[in-house]
Amino acid sequence: MIESRSPLARVNLREQLTERLEQMILTGEIPPGSTLPSEREMVEQWSVSRSVVRDAIRTIESKGLVEVRQGIGTVVKDNVRDAFANALNLLIERGHYRISELLQLRLMIETEVSKLAAKNAMPEDLEIMDQALSDHLKAVNEDNESGMVKADRAFHAQVIEATHNRPLIDLFAPFVHHLIVKTIVSHTYNRRRHEEDNAKHRQLFEAIKAGDAEDAAHWLSVTFQDSLKTWRDIENE
């Protein structure tokens, strides 16, 4: 015999309010920096209990969408994309995926990214990519690992930005940002290998600059081959 369903109704109210608040924040209906209505106001507006409101706020706070400030209230964070990035990074860490598998995913998606970047890149995109490659080579020559990570991130981030496809940028850039650190710092430092990587990335850049989508896809693939082989060898030891 099924007992009272009232607890389920309460959970549904909490979930409904949580989803509604998330939607309002993510669409900008409640803009960054603004304060959510008070508990009392939300109770009256949504015809729910204070406990439902508190549960919903705790949930969106745990997702990084808002922060509760003493004496001010619940404030919408300026960059809610960070919440997605943090959740994605946590998923990658807890998923215990093989790095070779993650690299394969990058290869599949970034091949198409490079093609779109070759078609849509603006002069300012190319300028940032060019500078990132120069910074990367400088860091390689100085044995500056953190500098290499920063420059490599900047280059790949700008290739993604150069697509000028907002969903692609929002959803894929955080994944690449996190994985670059994971793959670079896990390698034993090898200047020659990093110099070769820089040269391959330079070829990719030149293809994007020339607007040659197929050549860009080719060089994107080339930049991944050695890393894929290296990680497969490591994982199979």
DSSP string, 68-103: EETTTEEEE-S-THHHHHHHHHHHHHHHT--HHHHH
pLDDT tens digits, one per residue of 16-29: 899 889 888 877 78
**Hey, what are 194's tokens?**
């990093």
> Is 1 contained in some domain?
no
Instruction: Indicate if 37 and 141 belong to the same structural domain.
Output: no
Contacts 24+ apart (CB under 8 A), 51-60: 51/10, 52/10, 52/13, 52/14, 52/17, 53/17, 55/14, 55/18, 56/14, 56/17, 56/18, 56/21, 57/21, 59/14, 59/18, 60/18, 60/21, 60/22, 60/25
- DSSP, residue by residue, 182-212: HHHTTSPP-HHHHHHHHHHHHHHHHHHHHT-
Indicate whether this model's pTM tops 0.85. no
Angstrom distance (rounded) from CA 116 to CA 133? 20
pLDDT tens digits, one per residue of 12-63: 888 889 988 988 887 778 888 899 999 999 999 888 899 999 999 998 888 7
Instruction: Indicate if 129 and 68 belong to the same structural domain.
Output: no
Number of domains composing the chain: 2
Domain containing residue 16: 6-76
Instruction: Indicate if 146 and 46 belong to the same structural domain.
Output: no
Domain boundary pick from 76, 93, 112: 76
Instruction: Indicate if 46 and 86 belong to the same structural domain.
Output: no
